Amino acid sequence: MTATVASHETHVEHGPRRPPAGWRRLLFPGFLRTAWMVPLFFGIGCGIVVLCRWWGGWHPIWFGEIIVLVAALIAAPVGFLAGIGAFDYWARYAIGAPTVPEDHSGHGAYSWRDYFRVNTDHKVIGMQYLATTIFFFLAAGMLAMLVRAELAKPGMQFFNNQTYNGLFSVHASLMIFLFVIPAFAGLANFVVPLMLGAPDMAFPRLNALSYWLLPIAGTMMLCSFLVPGGAFAAGWTGYAPLSVHQPMGTIFFNMGVQWAGASSIMTALNFLVTIITMRAPGMTFWRMPLLVWANFTTSLLVVIATPFIAGSQFFVMFDRVMHTSFFETAGGGYPLGYQHIFWFYSHPAVYIMMLPGFGIASEVISVMSRKPIFGYRLMALSLLAILVLGFSVWAHHMFVSGMAPWLRVPMMVTTLLIAVPTGIKVFSWLATLWEGKIAFNTPMLWAVGFVSMFVIGGLSGIYLGAVPIDIHVSDTYFIVAHIHYVLFGGSLFTIFAGIYYWFPKMTGRMYNERLGKLHFWLTFIGFNATFFPMHLIGVQGMPRRVSDYDPVFANWNLFISVASFFLGASTIVFLRSRRRRRSSTSTRSRRSSAIPTSTASRGRSTRCSAAVLANRCRWTDARSRRCQRDRHRAEADRGDRAAQGRRRPAGHRYLPRQPAAARLCGVPGHASRSGGPAPGPDGFDTARGRNSRRRLRGRIGSRHRRPRRGRTAGAAGR
Amino acid sequence: MRRGSLVQLILVAIAAAAAGTAIALLPNWLPQPASREAGRIHFVFWFLTGICIFIFSIVASVTAYAVVKFRRKPDDDSDGPPIHGHTGLEITWTAIPAILVTAITIVSAIVLAKDDAAGANPLRVNVVAQQFAWSFYYPAYGNKRSGILRLPVHRSVLLRMTSKDVVHSFWVPEFSQKQDVVPGLHPTLHITPTRVGTYPVICTELCGLGHALMRSQTIVMTETAFDKWAHGAQTAAAVGGGGSSIFNQQGCTACHRLAAAGATGTIGPDLDKLAVEAQRAGKPLASFVRESIVAPNAYVEKGYPKGIMPQDFGTKLSKTQLDALVRFLVSSAKKGTK
């Protein structure tokens, strides 16, 4: 306790700003301010449209589609962001008003309300990401259930064609743009800075902004069901010129992709800068955990590729609302141009949705086998190989599209070459399992399930890579089966692995192991029963994206629909297993390869280079003496800092302003209530039993524990 | 590694391979081939299936063996052996997949080249796709038009395709050949039918509201039967500029029901009830029909979405054609109400 008090002398923790009383509350960032700012910006958008149309002499002056586009899909979201407070710091800075600085030391979540505010703590943002993406996962899953309900019997059951096309289009878009991509970003937001020993992400305010763009994009896509004409119905691929001539819902997709895309570009830039510049001293590139490598390559893919889909959707929208002719043959446009631009993003996007999962799988498999990852360097290099090759294969989605025929063979070569680095990864995971001490618990089940399902998805990918077979099966249910084996069996399984794996770290509570396992097995069985038969009916001749089909396929479709409802129901177990349950198993048996269990999980994270490195030396570089040397240096440095309090080590831009670094890394003499138990000789948390549980909770679940401090106290302290 | 465990591992691998082979052989995966190209494509398919069963059995057996054999004992707190890699092993599993994919690439490229070689004198057929109908034209037979693709058996056929509106895709599962039909482009597809019979023509690229129903047929006939059909007179509906033939040619039948033209589409409004619909719109029948063709969004029947019917019939049809079409529809509507 004394140590906690002592730390308050050198560093004052400040909670979130309290909203002022009275009418000034309306000006305080939050949902109350969005309540008037959104209509205000909507009005401004309407005004701009009406003014321009009046000035240009265009009739009618009040034109519904343009109003929706400018006022509802562009201006109102900006109003939302302004209202919630995403721009406050920059706005104050720009107008010269005093800013409210943050030193990343006291801005964790103090109550559940903080998760509904703009918060710049990477852990809070990680949780916000995960909660939001799970919401959209459930929504998109519901849409899939509706699709399967319609397909249970041949003929039309519940929906008309337009609604049906909308259902699968929104399902895919939400799953891709609002679930898989941001869920990985959320997990990485939480763990990457911890793994690097960085105090936070490089640009915390940008991080917060990129989160708040997501609910906008998701709401936009879901709301497209409400507009006249129904949701966008040209598939998530939105091929032009069909998408140009669809009802108004299409612009909800065009703009939704822009918001979601902006979000992922910002996050990716943030990761890149964080990983390049904020590694703890001694944490070289070749010592980074594979998960960090995976996020590094993913971020490179995102920043290079995402602008292409943004461009393609803008072009479609321009064709639609401004009557340009990017893709309209009548005006000299080139429909295949859309597909080239679109797939130049969307093929790398497959890796954007896959590589972070590789990282999580590497982490979980290695830890749960109690072995270092096999072939660490080759694993990292194969990620880079996938990054490079990933940009040279986009036209394999277009083997039958009517593009230049000569392009097919080179694209087939590069496509099949990707099997080599992917194979390296799979075999290395298997070698990591070999002779390990395998704990077959929930995260490990998901990770091993991922490896086996991803192999099936990868092998069906080889079929699709071979041009002659692709000609037969493209745009059939074989494709549907393939993408679900890759994105469900691949990405989703690893997301679940990550959620279960870091659940104790994130919440300070343990999930229910039995329910977690049940969740896995139900999902695993339901998943295979749903998607494996799709290979068969696809090869036999059932095209994708149809609401009605040849009665020959009736039995299989009924089977698939029943299986998919079973699969959908398994998600209920997932939600149940999250339920709060005081941990019966502490994380003692968990030996993280990257995050020392002694780092704080919420609230204040900081550089624990010594502890981080102690782990990394053990897991990546055990043979290297250099790593041990760096580790000892870091330990010496830690001792110095503990002794000297606020002294800043040279060359660090992001500094712990408190001896918390020492406290959290478990320097002797600084163990406190909120500090972790000292790591054992191997850098692991050696405490166990009830005591450690309480400590864990003390460190992690600091939800309501910390007294709130007013703004003045914080200011005075500074 | 002990010899006993190696034997166990191999047994598991054989079991996995047997399971994979059973899945590959028991259900009828590929449709019965009806073209020379399909035969070659099926060869590639089975070649690849063999490789995939090999890889799958390795991965499945190692995974299954590892999770069963190397399970941690509850009281075991020790680590696994600190193995960081094995250069020989890593080279092996880089090289073997590389060799396998090279083999696949070579086989695929050869098959692709053979499938695309149309020979010296193929039968040329022009394929025109539109929302949501197929038309086939035979330039060698006076540009004869057909809604069903009729082909002679054992003759090389070159389809030259284009679309009037959005991207469609031509697929006959039994031919195993597929090609997207893109507006503004004229991609070709080569087929050599080998089996007499009737097979479905399926649109596989999402083309809008009626995508699921955009189907036709291909009939592969003997050489003599095809010659007889090709040289026979055009059916009454397809000849001349009569309203009913325009109705057929423009693909109206794909979406609308009209007894007089034998059309049974359900995507658009029922044209047998035109008179009632005109009343509902509050317009005289003839001008209502004309407006609905030229500017379909002016009045849309309740329950049908706007913007689905092509909006360019006003420019595509000549004035006389339009008049004939309107006359035909009005007269059939009047007959319908009587």
Helix axes A290-321, A335-352, angle to 10 degrees: 160
Interface test with A, best of B58, B211, B255 (most A CBs within 10 A): B211
ipTM of model over 0.95: no
Mark which residues 232-291 of B lie under 8 Å from A by CB. 267
How confident is the model over B317-326, as pLDDT tens digits?
Answer: 778 888 888 8
Q: Which residues pair with B257 in a beta bridge?
A: B264
Token look-up 């400018």 returns A70
Task: Report the side by side order of strands in the sheet with B133-138.
Answer: B144-146, B133-138, B123-130, B157-163, B188-191
Look at residue B79 and tell me if it is in a domain: no
The Cα of B299 is separated from the nearest Cα of chain A by a number of Å equal to 15
Closest to B66 (Cβ–Cβ): which among A378, A419, A438? A438
Cβ neighbours, 10 Å, residue B61: 21
Pair B52, B110 in one domain: yes
> Using CA atoms, how far apart are residues A242 and A227, in angstroms rounded to an integer?
18
pLDDT tens figures, A343-391: 999 999 999 999 999 999 999 999 888 888 898 989 999 999 999 999 9
Tally: H helices and E strands in chain B: 9, 12
Q: A596 — phi, psi (to 5°)?
A: -65, 140
Q: Which A-chain residues 600-629 have CB contacts (< 8 A) with chain B?
A: 620, 622-623
CATH number at residue B306: 1.10.760.10
Decide if B81 is inside a domain.
Answer: no
Of chain B, the percentage scoring pLDDT greater than 90 comes to 41
Confidence of residue A617 (pLDDT cuts 50, 70, 90): low
Residue B237 lies in a domain: no
Residue B94 at interface with chain A, using a CB cutoff of 8 Å:
yes
Environment class of residue B25 by beta-carbon count within 10 Å: exposed (0-12), middle (13-18) or buried (19+)?
A: exposed
Could you tell me the strand order of the sheet in which B197-203 lies?
B149-152, B215-221, B197-203, B168-172, B177-181
Q: Can you tell me the mean pLDDT for B188-193?
A: 92
B80:A423 CB<8 A: no
Residues B262 and B293 in one domain: yes
With a pLDDT cut of 70, the percent of chain B lying above it is 95
Rounded distance, CA B12 to CA B3, Å?
14
The answer to whether residues A24 and A717 touch, using CB atoms and an 8 Å cutoff, is no
Same domain flag for B99 and B149: no
Rounded to whole angstroms, how far apart are CA atoms A393 and A414? 6
For residues B185 and B205, state if they share a domain.
yes
List domains and CATH numbers for chain A.
18-95 (no CATH), 112-337 (1.20.210.10), 354-538 (1.20.210.10), 587-717 (no CATH)
Q: Which two tokens stand for residue B191?
A: 């087929």
For residue B267, being part of any structural domain is answered with: yes
Of B84, B94, B173, the CB nearest to A541: B173
Other CB atoms within a 10 A radius of the CB of residue A425 amount to 23
**Domain check: are B30 and B65 in the same one?**
yes
Residue A447 contacts B, CB cutoff 8 Å = no
- Those residues whose C-beta lies under 8 Å from the C-beta of residue B293, and which sit 6 or more positions away, are B313, B314, B317, B322, B325, B326
Residue B218's DSSP bridge partners are B149, B199
CATH code: domain of residue B168 = 2.60.40.420
* Distance, CA of A223 to CA of A511 (rounded, Å): 34
pLDDT in tens, A184-237: 999 999 999 988 888 889 998 999 999 999 999 999 999 999 888 888 889 999
Q: Does A555 touch chain B (CB under 8 A)?
A: no
CB proximity B83 to A under 8 Å? yes
B196 lies in the same domain as B285? no
CB contact under 8 A, B104 and A239: no
Q: What is the pLDDT of residues B130-183, one digit of tens each?
A: 888 888 999 988 888 888 899 999 999 999 999 988 999 999 999 999 999 999
Residues of A in contact with B209 (CB under 8 A): 161-162, 165
User: CB distance from A249 to chain B under 8 Å?
Assistant: no
Give the E-state strand segments of chain B in sequence order: 123-130, 133-138, 144-146, 149-152, 157-163, 168-172, 177-181, 188-191, 197-203, 215-221, 257-258, 263-264
Residue B99 maps to a domain: yes
Hey, how many other C-beta atoms are within 10 angstroms of the C-beta on A701? 14
Distance CA A205, CA A266 (A): 11
The answer, for A585 touching chain B at a CB cutoff of 8 Å, is: no
Distance of alpha carbon A623 from the chain centroid = 34
CB proximity B116 to A under 8 Å: yes
The residue range of the domain holding B18 is: 3-69+88-116
Q: At what angle do helices A122-151 and A161-173 cross, to 10 degrees?
A: 150
Residue B26: inside a domain, yes or no? yes
Name the minimum distance, in Å, from the CA of A377 to any CA of chain B. Answer: 9
Chain A residues touching residue B211 (CB < 8 angstroms): 161, 165, 545-546
Confirm or reject contact between B98 and chain A (CB < 8 A). yes
Contact B211 A546 (CB under 8 A): yes
Interface list for A 306-325 with B (CB within 8 A) = none
Task: Report how many domains make up chain B.
Answer: 3
Q: Are residues B106 and B167 in the same domain?
A: no
Same domain, residue pair B331 and B258: yes
* A614 band by pLDDT with thresholds 50, 70 and 90: low
**Can you read off the two tokens belonging to residue A413?**
């070569």
Q: Which helix (H) or strand (E) holds A532?
A: helix A513-540
Number of cross-chain residue pairs from A and B with Cβ atoms under 8 Å apart: 258
SS3 of A63-101: CHHHHHHHHHHHHHHHHHHHHHCCCHHHHHHHHCCCCCC
- Are B127 and B211 within one domain? yes
Residue A663 banded pLDDT, cuts 50, 70, 90: very low
pLDDT at A161: 83
Is B283 inside a domain boundary? yes
Cβ–Cβ gap B41/A468 under 8 Å: yes
Instruction: For the beta carbon of residue A146, count every other beta carbon within 10 angstroms.
Output: 16
pLDDT at residue B13 above 70?
Answer: yes
pLDDT at A471: 93
Which 373-402 residues of chain A touch chain B by CB within 8 A? 374-378, 400-402
Tell me if residue A685 falls in helix, strand or coil.
strand
Quick one: B25 and B111 in the same domain? yes
Is there a single domain that holds both residue B108 and residue B133?
Answer: no
Query: From the candidates A437, A464, A556, which should be mutated to test the interface with B, based on the most B CB atoms within 10 A?
Result: A437
- Chain-chain contact of B105 with A459 (C-beta, under 8 angstroms): no
Bridge pairing between strands B257-258 and B157-163:
unpaired
Distance from C-alpha of B180 to C-alpha of A398, rounded to nearest angstrom? 9
Task: Look at residue A248 in the predicted model and tell me its pLDDT.
Answer: 87
Q: Is A518 on the interface with B (CB under 8 A)?
A: no
Picking from B71, B72, B305, the nearest residue to A247 by CB comes out as B305
Q: Nearest-CA distance from B236 to chain A in Å? A: 31
Shared-domain flag, residues B201 and B136 = yes
* Half-sphere exposure at residue A466, Cβ-oriented, CA atoms within 13 angstroms: 31
Contact check, Cβ <8 Å, A416/B105: yes
Specify if B78 maps to a domain. Answer: no
